[in-house]
A and B are shown apart, each in its own frame.
Chain A
């Protein structure tokens, strides 16, 4: 069953590196992460990669496999020809630490900028009542395993380092949408979605949706509806007028 396969794995660190060639045993039913582990155990003990669950649930082993952002644990070797060279490189959007490990701190920083769930003040734990149909929208987004493949893929930051300050990326725009659609969240998130998290940078190319290993319909179900909510707010003439009046009153006082 087994065969010798060809791998190219990027090895190096922040100061530079390149693709290294490996010939490695491959057995039936294996995934790319198994092969990386075999390389560690037999040829390159210090080859760095992240992994935890090996079942597509923790989102740690993200990498680019033949140029495509994937989870290594969910990429079966049977999807490649036996004579095909499999090339594994680190996520391109984030700074390399070593080999396949990148600094994903950008994502944790953006996570902290999203205002937390804000329940009604008078509601005690145990008193929450929500209908299944009302929680399902946000539940879809909470399937996110934070693998950051969408963040890595979105061209708004992948090709534009300068946008990182002003754009939270699909994962955290989806988090804003998740909270906005939470039946009991009381915070106003429409303005911040546009002004703080950069919803306007998204031009709906759906690349994030395509790479999502959880098959969350990020663009259709989170980003577009969120854009519509923002538009309703920002460009509704009555709301605009109300804002103007209220703003003046409060600054006068």
Chain B
């Protein structure tokens, strides 16, 4: 256990005359949203001393904005749901560019992550049987999203925040100090990650927003959980914090970013009034019956169902409307297509002149549900429109249009450990990449950050245990000096360019030239402009002092925004196809060749810009491929792949039925995960440590696969008893129970 030393004098080593507060921790988690807090909780459960760095106040992270819910195949509403179905939906949503292993782990572990939240005090909406209720959402075959009205993100962040407090209360009881093992550094921004002489993570340096004073964290493991990049765009649902800090800091420290061209434009952002343009209108509006209409009153989404999805979506309004009450015998309304499809369709309608006066389309729930029901199911939306736009959504339609919402691309990580190529550096949540492929399904973000936040915390702790007594990396003092000098530059130049102006120019450039539809000549223009912005960035100035000076903060964030913007633009220019969150005007179709390629960004050796390279996508395990029909795979895979896959898929097709238990796949992957993820997938071929951590008191969730299976089957049989269901489904569930029970032995 390390000591927590604090020096206000910068006596040790560094040449800078700046006062520097020093802290020593086992794990530093950068970001206090869902992923960061879940990672911190897990690292603390593993016996580590943990610091959480929060750019805002504790509990204000962007996670609070998540509305719809957290996707987890608990099967509470439709017992046919299971991890295999969730996995399939996720891969389809991401157009098979997802890292299959992450999609698999996510689908398998999400239910446990949701259930443990209840044990920490979360209060989800309930089914009649008293279980967690689940709602429909775009791209999810069954009702799957655990939710609390339309404020699920708030529930999640509050629950994790309160879990942190509960752990602090335990520490207070044991040591007399709330912050003995877990401390949140609120309103603190990290400016650089630090490595030791051999290239391992050694810590991070940043500043307190409140005082402008610098603070150094020495730690052998750092977990990035900083969220997204939306502030590089004008129209965005993202808060000021989303400046791509994690992406940029990791890149500057030598990590790689994967598939940065994939940026999700949420189809329904507010378009009026101008000052709230971009603010999110939850997908639950559509999940609960809301429909999209153009200025002619037509439900236009029926015209935009792509071939790959045609089988699953209704062809008539009548069928679509019946689906809300009878999902067994009807297909889904096309309003519930994955987000990329809906966003592009709205874009096309507006471009064709069938938009609303304010440049959006109509989203109407007022004619679909009774007013009382709308207020109960969508309270925040009712509130948001009433107060910000003076629109009563129970009586009038909303006006909506696409808004920059989420980046699928991110820090390249090992799918099991969340580790990067930099030893000691981990990433989870939105700032990491791979899980969502080219497009994220709604509801998969909250579950993603729980599943992989926990994994990052767990594996960071294991990494530290593996370092041994003598192995703790030491910060290089010269790096600290350089970081402080870089951070102080804008203050030394009070007459420099206004950072807000440069920020505005960057946003306009990205929004207009690298937006929802990309043209190569426009993206090239954007890259030229970005080159022009680089020297401007070094000359921005911040008037005023160090204390809580937003101008200075923007000046520093600009570096990160420029880096991620360059990555997005470079990758967008390179990928000559349209897939998910990347639509190329000149290459409107999806290309099976391009599906085999991940685009990897890394920092040029001289630090002047971004290098881009192609990297083969990891080969999907045959048992997972067997979950799909070959006819579906044909839409995504090349002929060569299919000849190989076709054989294995066919071979697998028989035994791997829906109910082939989790345990089998689990057992298989547990023994050889690394071999399966293909060599190129993981630069850092860290053997997955098979030693599970000792169970921690208070964490009742057993880690062992057997426990998990046992729990799963209890849940399933309970479900089977409780729910009225068809004989077929019942038989299926029973088979599954029997098989899982057998596997257990």
Q: Is B279 an interface residue (CB 8 A)?
A: yes
In the complex the two chains form, what is the Cα distance from A124 to B121 in whole Å? Answer: 13
Q: Is B579 an interface residue (CB 8 A)?
A: no
Q: Is A210 an interface residue (CB 8 A)?
A: no
A interface residues, how many (CB within 8 angstroms): 60
| A139, closest chain B residue (CB) | B123
Q: Is A143 an interface residue (CB 8 A)?
A: yes
Which A residues lie within 8 Å of B700 (CB)? 124-125
Contact A98 B119 (CB under 8 A): no
Q: Is A153 an interface residue (CB 8 A)?
A: no
Q: What is the 8 Å Cβ interface bit string for chain B, positions 499-521, against chain A (1 contact, 0 not)?
A: 11100100000000000000000
Q: Is A205 an interface residue (CB 8 A)?
A: no
Q: Is B112 an interface residue (CB 8 A)?
A: yes
- Contact residues of A: prevailing secondary structure: loop
Contact A56 B545 (CB under 8 A): no
CB distance from A69 to the nearest CB of B (A): 16
Q: Is A48 an interface residue (CB 8 A)?
A: yes
Contact B273 A53 (CB under 8 A): no
Which B residues lie within 8 Å of A112 (CB)? 165, 168-169, 172, 178
In the complex the two chains form, what is the Cα distance from A124 to B695 in whole Å? Answer: 14
In the complex the two chains form, what is the Cα distance from A30 to B275 in whole Å? Answer: 5
In the complex the two chains form, what is the Cα distance from A182 to B714 in whole Å? Answer: 25
Q: Is A224 an interface residue (CB 8 A)?
A: no
Contact A146 B550 (CB under 8 A): no
Contact of B499 among A45, A76, A117 (CB under 8 A): A45
Which A residues lie within 8 Å of B384 (CB)? 55-56
Q: Is B729 an interface residue (CB 8 A)?
A: no
Which B residues lie within 8 Å of A117 (CB)? 120-121, 162, 166
Contact A28 B273 (CB under 8 A): yes
Which A residues lie within 8 Å of B241 (CB)? 52
Q: What is the 8 Å Cβ interface bit string for chain B, positions 523-559, against chain A (1 contact, 0 not)?
A: 0000000000000000000111101111110000000
Contact of A27 among B168, B275, B498 (CB under 8 A): B275
| A14, closest chain B residue (CB) | B547
| A175, closest chain B residue (CB) | B162
List A residues 43-101 near B (Cβ within 8 Å).
Answer: 45-60, 74, 76, 97-99, 101
Contact B276 A55 (CB under 8 A): yes
Q: What is the 8 Å Cβ interface bit string for chain B, positions 47-60, against chain A (1 contact, 0 not)?
A: 00000000011111
Which A residues lie within 8 Å of B129 (CB)? 129
Stretch in A130-138, A162-170, A196-204, A232-240 with 4+ CB within 8 Å of B: A130-138
In the complex the two chains form, what is the Cα distance from A51 to B544 in whole Å? Answer: 20
Contact of B239 among A42, A54, A98, A101 (CB under 8 A): A54
Which B residues lie within 8 Å of A131 (CB)? 126, 130
Contact A34 B239 (CB under 8 A): no
Q: Is B240 an interface residue (CB 8 A)?
A: yes
Contact B275 A46 (CB under 8 A): no
In the complex the two chains form, what is the Cα distance from A57 to B178 in whole Å? Answer: 28
Contact of B119 among A128, A135, A146 (CB under 8 A): A128
In the complex the two chains form, what is the Cα distance from A110 to B550 in whole Å? Answer: 28
Contact B154 A74 (CB under 8 A): no
Contact A130 B130 (CB under 8 A): yes
Which B residues lie within 8 Å of A47 (CB)? 550
Q: Is B131 an interface residue (CB 8 A)?
A: yes
List B residues 82-100 near A (Cβ within 8 Å).
Answer: none
Contact B148 A142 (CB under 8 A): yes
Q: Is A16 an interface residue (CB 8 A)?
A: no
Contact B543 A46 (CB under 8 A): yes
Q: What is the 8 Å Cβ interface bit string for chain A, positions 144-164, against chain B (1 contact, 0 not)?
A: 011000000000000000000
> By CB atoms of chain B within 10 A, which of A53, A97, A104, A142 has the most?
A53
Of the A-B pairs whose beta carbons lie under 8 Å apart in the complex, a sample of 27, sorted by A's number, is A27-B274, A27-B275, A29-B273, A31-B388, A34-B275, A40-B551, A41-B500, A41-B504, A51-B239, A52-B241, A53-B62, A55-B276, A55-B388, A56-B383, A57-B151, A57-B154, A57-B380, A76-B387, A76-B388, A97-B548, A98-B210, A116-B166, A125-B116, A135-B123, A135-B124, A135-B125, A145-B154
Beyond A50-B56, A108-B58, 19 additional pairs, beta carbon < 8 A = A27-B274, A29-B272, A40-B500, A45-B543, A46-B543, A51-B239, A55-B388, A56-B388, A60-B56, A60-B60, A116-B169, A124-B119, A125-B112, A125-B119, A128-B118, A131-B130, A135-B126, A145-B154, A215-B383
* Top-10 shortest CB links A-B: A29-B273, A46-B544, A45-B551, A117-B121, A129-B130, A116-B166, A125-B115, A41-B500, A48-B548, A126-B115
